[in-house]
Amino acid sequence: MDPERFLAGLAARLGRSAGAPPAPRDGCGVPERHRTHPLRAAGPGARRACFGAALRRAGGNLQECADAAALEQALREHLAAGGGPAVCDATAALAGLRLEWLVGEGLATPPSPGDAATWRARCAAAALGITLPALGVAETGTLVHALGPDRARLTSLLPRHHVAVLRESCLVPQLGDAFAALHGAPEALPSATVLVTGPSRTSDIENDATIGVHGPAAVTVLLLLDAP
């Protein structure tokens, strides 16, 4: 393969010209445009719309649920259409969302200490993984998972379809706001933080994208709207 031709094709896919110098940086740290982003002054409706648009651009889907009953119905529909077993993180947040029935049906069972292999096998065999992210980033459509004993990384990673249940009140304007929110409670810092933006997307050096190789092939967010 001709190296010059290869690099020219790669540059064209990136929207650049071969041999162009790197874009200059006029400063370090957080750009001023982030501090003055319109989302900071926008209302909940604008944040919700921005989150949905960004999520769809990343290949994900957004379903808005007006109340807890609508949320339960949407979740049961996904479970019925899943085509296989499902797993769900068992957290205290389930009660606040009226989703305790997931525990009763045996879906929400946190991994027992020292028995991570059993949970790994359940997640690997699951068609649907249900999670409760801590936050959502409106600008990028990103889900922020704060992990711990009852919120495992594998729940969103191994099943083919990742369904996230998120409250509208948990939407923050930008990624920096999410880190600030997590840092604001140092006594309850998660063991790890995972950021999920759409389904798993992998590209080789020529930018040929493949979906679902290193994670779920589909991501759906069920957004529980705040009461009017």
Q: What is the CATH number of domain 38-185+195-201+222-228?
A: 3.40.50.10420
pLDDT digits (tens, 9 = 90+) for 189-228: 777 899 999 987 777 777 776 766 677 889 999 999 988 7
Burial of 216 from C-beta contacts in 10 A (0-12 / 13-18 / 19+): buried
Averaged pLDDT score across all residues of the chain: 85
pLDDT in the model for residue 114: 66
Q: In the chain, what are the domain boundaries?
A: 38-185+195-201+222-228
pLDDT in the model for residue 158: 92
Whole-model pTM?
A: 0.80
pLDDT in the model for residue 127: 93
pLDDT in the model for residue 184: 66
